[in-house]
Structure 1
Amino acid sequence: MSQLTLRAAALLLDMDGTLVHSGGEVETVWRLWCRRHRLDPEPVLAMCHGVRSREVIRALAPELDLAREVALLDELEIRHTGQGEAIKGCRAVLSALPVGCWALVTSASQEVARHRLQSAGLPLPSLLVGAQEVEHGKPDPEPYLLAAGRLGLAPADCLVFEDAPAGIRSALAAGCPVVQVGGKERLDPAVLAVIQDWRQVTVRLDEGGGLQLALLI
């Protein structure tokens, strides 16, 4: 393995698949929803990872009442979140970060995100940009632009950790550098590095108050 050193003013972190193992729960919820509406689950499962539920519904079932279905899906996600499993190493990294130096940027709702983090025993961020905070969800750049703006930082100074193609495209379009979590190959050639879990990451504060990260890749 080699070491890659990166610097950032803050970290912007996705949740599902990046901090918490939840892919199975997400697919279970969408299969239940598809069964309820007698829809083929395969197109839904191909689209749902890293994307807000409202985008999936608009694309694949636009005839349904959007607000009602989003609320139903949130209810199902909370009901079917078991004892959450954090991605290895992320609890230690998050615990070492100053409160104002990281934010969560997720396609889940605020309620679902907080529930999932707490179930996995992870700290809650001071800034959480969820599904309700943006007009356009991932892969649009708006979520990451909003998070950087609320931290008072330029997107280029915010290092993003993402696992899904939609999230990676969102962050890159916003002008943020990106590290991919999981997978053997880069999902986009612009990704700086690929890590399998957070045990490959160490972080410390530099003399100027920024973050210095060492990645074993």
Structure 2
Amino acid sequence: MPDHRSYRAFLFDMDGTLLNSIAAAERIWTRWALRHGVDVATFLPTIHGVRAIDTIARQHLPGVDAQAEAEQITREEIEDVEGVVQVAGAAAFLKGLPPSQWAIVTSAPMALALRRMDAAGIPRPLVMVTSEDVNDGKPNPACYRLAAERLQVASQECLVFEDADAGIRAGEASGADVMVVTATHTHPVVTHHPQIKDYLGLAVEMNEAGLIRIQ
């Protein structure tokens, strides 16, 4: 744990952090890549943790409307949640948090986020920041700063839970501490941040000042 520090709030990425949607996402993005002549093997590792519109725009494909393509991807992802499951212990851990002291900060649109959360049994927080809420997605820190603002705390008083490089960099740039969740990683993560595999065995302790920390 990060020096046993206490925080005003916890901010959670969704995909790869609270739930595993890799199988569904890679099915849909593989079809997209094949339609557009994009090399699947090199492309798939780039889709995680960022907005669909940013993923598509990065390809610089002539004649491709990134906004329209992203909307189609979202429709397909909403329809296909087969294999979407919670990261072990995530739902129980979230239910143990004070409702006003945690948020979800995701690169997915709201409709897709709620669909996947429902499929995985993840509770809906009072505060959610989605792709529609910011002009620039992760690694831009605006999303985490906005979540902290909506919780009425400073981002520097938060602990961000992330799994993807873009999200980790967004958390760092917001001034928050970062916890890396490795549940969906197939290789060891090289990072100076503390790591957890999942949420099994974790609990939350609140002190007299209302600060929370992982126990």
Structure (1 or 2) with the greater strand fraction = 1
Provide TM-score, normalisation by structure 1.
Answer: 0.90
Q: CA deviation at 1:120?
A: 0.7
Q: CA deviation at 1:95?
A: 0.7
* Distance in 2 separating the partners of 1:188 and 1:130: 26
* Distance in 2 separating the partners of 1:186 and 1:6: 22
Q: CA deviation at 1:205?
A: 2.2
* Distance in 2 separating the partners of 1:31 and 1:168: 25
* Distance in 2 separating the partners of 1:52 and 1:7: 31
* Counterpart code for 2:144: Y
Alignment partner, residue 60 of structure 1: 59
Query: Over aligned residues, Cα RMSD in angstroms?
Result: 1.8
Alignment partner, residue 196 of structure 1: 197
Percent of pairs with identical residues: 36
Relative distance call for 1:113 and 1:159 in structure 2 (3 A) is: same
* Counterpart code for 2:202: V
CA contact (8 A) 1:165 1:187 kept: no
Residue 12 of structure 2 corresponds to residue 9 of structure 1: no
* Distance in 1 separating the partners of 2:92 and 2:2: 19
SS of the counterpart of 1:50? coil
* Distance in 2 separating the partners of 1:67 and 1:51: 14
Q: CA deviation at 1:199?
A: 1.0
* Distance in 2 separating the partners of 1:39 and 1:65: 15
Deviates more, 1:115-124 or 1:63-72: 63-72
* Distance in 2 separating the partners of 1:93 and 1:181: 14
Offset from partner CA, 1:101-156 (integer Å, 9 cap, x none): 11001111111101100111111011111111111111111111111122111111
Alignment partner, residue 141 of structure 2: 141
* Distance in 1 separating the partners of 2:75 and 2:91: 26
* Counterpart code for 2:110: Q
CA contact (8 A) 2:21 2:83 kept: no
Q: CA deviation at 1:56?
A: 0.9
Alignment partner, residue 162 of structure 2: 162
Aligned residue pairs, count: 211
* Distance in 1 separating the partners of 2:106 and 2:190: 18
CA contact (8 A) 2:11 2:160 kept: yes
Equivalent positions of 1:1-217 (< 5 A) are 5-63=4-62, 64-82=64-82, 84-182=84-182, 183=185, 185-189=188-192, 191=193, 193-214=194-215
* Distance in 1 separating the partners of 2:123 and 2:115: 11
* Distance in 2 separating the partners of 1:15 and 1:169: 16
Offset from partner CA, 1:67-98 (integer Å, 9 cap, x none): 21111010111112125311111111111112
Q: CA deviation at 1:5?
A: 2.4
Which sections of structure 1, spanning at least 5 residues, go unmatched? none
